[in-house]
Each structure stands twice: as C-alpha cells, then as structure tokens.
Amino acid sequence: MTPEMTLSLVIPVWNDPEHLLELLDQAVNLRLFSQIIIADDASDPPCDPAQLGFDSNGFDGELLYLRSDRQRGAGHARNIGLDAVSGSHVLFFDADDRLLPGLALLLQDLQGHSFDFCLFKHADSRQQAEGLERPLPLDAQIWQQAGIQPGGQAGDAGTLHQLSTAQAEQLCLISAYPWNKIYRTTFLRDQGIRCTEIPVHNDAALHWLSFIKAQTILASNRLGCTHVVEKGGSRLTNRRQRDRLQVFQALEQICDALESSPGGGRFIVPYLGFCDRLFTWILNQALDPGLRPQFQHRACAHLLARLRPEYVTLFAQADPAAAARLNAILAGGRR
C-alpha cells in the first residue's frame, strides 16, 4: 500500500512581505500542508513571518523560516528549502502567486498513486482579466495537443493521466515554471535535481531535468494555482539586463542530462522548440538592445557546441518555421 502523501510547501521570497502574508493565510486555510518553509533571499528587512505578525496558531504542521546570508536568487532559496523538506512530496510556490481550491481536490486524486511528479494546470492573471480561467493560449494549446482537456473545476471529477512517452514530449514544452508540479521529494534528491543558482531562469533545469529523468509522470486537468503577472516592478520577468546572459548555465545542465540520461535523446527536438521560444522571447522582449548581439553570439555557440546536425535536421522536419528562427539566430551569432 502506498503511504499517505504529506506535502511540504517551499516559498522563496525577497522583499515581498505583503504577498507572502497573503499566501501564508491561503496555505493555512487550505489545510493541505504538513510543512511550510519560507526561504528568505536576504530580504531587508527580513520576511520572517513571526516578525511580520503572522499568526500560525491555526496551522498544525511545521512552519520553518530559513534565511540566506546574502542575496543569491530564487534558485538558491528553493534549494535550501528543498534541503529542509520533511514531506513525502513538495510544491515550490512563489510568494506573489496564488493557490486555488482545485489543489485540494488534486491532492485527493493523488492519494494512493506512486509518481515522480504530477504536472497540473494553472490560471494566468492576464487571462483572468479577460474572464478566462486558463493559462496563456500557447500553454493551453499544448495541454490540448497532449489530449488533456479543460475541466477539473470545483465540482468536476477531474482527470488524472499517467503520461505516455509522446505526451511527455509534448507537455515538457509547457512554460518552465517551478510551481505547476508536485514532486516526490526523494525523486528530486536521488536524481540530484535542483534549481540553477543564477538570477533568472533558475527553474529551467528543474523543469527539464524532471521530465528527462522521471519514470512516472502524472498530469491533472485541475487548476491548482494562479500565476500573477504584474507589469514593471522587480519581478524576474521584467529584468532586461546582463542577468539574462546567465541562462546558458541552466541550458548546459539540461544538455548534460539530455546526453547522459537513458531516453534523454527523445527530448532533443522538444528542447530545440524550447530554445526557439526562449531565445525569441529574450531577444524581442526581455533584453536591452545593446546586449542582443552578445546574446546571439552565446546562443549560437551553445547550439553549435551541444547539438548534432542530425538533431537540427529532425527539428527542421518537425517545425520548419521554428528551425528557420533558430537558423537566423545562428547566422546573427556568427557575425
């Protein structure tokens, strides 16, 4: 018999006490977690729930506050949180995103199942502003292509799928977020899967290594959370400086896993699709214009060094338009 799941919640936070307190209230009221870990990335002043006046009397699990000695980024914060996890499973969650009631139903669905991680659906605040409870259209399309239909609202039965190889190859292209998966703690630890400790894109390796190394992946159509996107401010999405160039540290980790893991090769073509989306977004929206030539050069070097020509040929056959975009990046990087 599979032991009952216990779920730890790891929350990295930096200088965001208001959102953290709102999330802690949500987490306590949902009564889903055996442990809540706040991993403070050297906030000033500290985001210690006790100092912020948070009343944890209604929480019968462990509330643990950890603090980095200096600011090292959300990846490091998640990693020190993972080291302290005592639950059989773990959910990483950002302080400024929001849990949904569907998460409680998902945990009921998962009881008795053995899995390495379970991917679940999320809502995006930009879509909610238009009256739509769903992720961004491209992510919604990926779910549909994998054969996992909308639904899973409160009152619905919900569906739980064990992913086939083909479905995993499709769903790995979902946006590489850390908070849309429930992980088996020992899976992450045994496989050495952690976040890359870089300022941005620190969750890309966590996402991809999970797909590459997992034996059993479940997917649920239940909406478990809302990703909140705000224009401006200090969110990592809004950074346009040299930090973006460090993404290649994460990409090198992913390529190492693609080459060394049994079955990793089947994710090569999806990985190239990910590079197309990522590089296009960074060059067009997320990088200061003066840094674009340097990024193109780094992207060109990464692709030429790590990917064999036959992989690029397979990608061109699967998605000619995306391959053309990558070829343009290669041409620009060679100049």
Q: Summarize the confidence of residues 81-97 as an average pLDDT.
A: 97
pLDDT range class, residue 242, cuts 50, 70, 90: confident
pLDDT range class, residue 15, cuts 50, 70, 90: very high
Q: What is the pLDDT of residue 14?
A: 95
Helices (H), 192-244: 204-213
Q: Summarize the confidence of residues 325-333 as an average pLDDT.
A: 84
- Residue 67: φ, ψ to 5°: -140, 130
Domain ranges, ordered by start, for the chain:
7-237, 242-334
> Are 117 and 5 within 8 A, CB to CB?
no
> CA 308, 312, 315 angle in degrees (round to 5)?
140
pLDDT range class, residue 227, cuts 50, 70, 90: very high
Q: What is the pLDDT of residues 156-169, one digit of tens each?
A: 667 899 999 999 99
pLDDT range class, residue 113, cuts 50, 70, 90: very high
| pLDDT above 80 (res 197) | yes
Q: What mean pLDDT value characterizes the chain?
A: 91
Q: What is the pLDDT of residue 185?
A: 98
Query: Among residues 151, 148, 178, which one has the least CA distance to residue 163?
Result: 148
Q: How many CA atoms lie within 13 A of 90 on its CB side?
A: 24
Q: What is the pLDDT of residues 16-49, one digit of tens each?
A: 999 999 999 999 999 999 999 999 999 999 999 9
From 1.10.10.10, 3.40.50.10470, 3.30.70.260, 3.90.550.10, which CATH number describes the 7-237 domain? 3.90.550.10
| pLDDT above 80 (res 155) | no
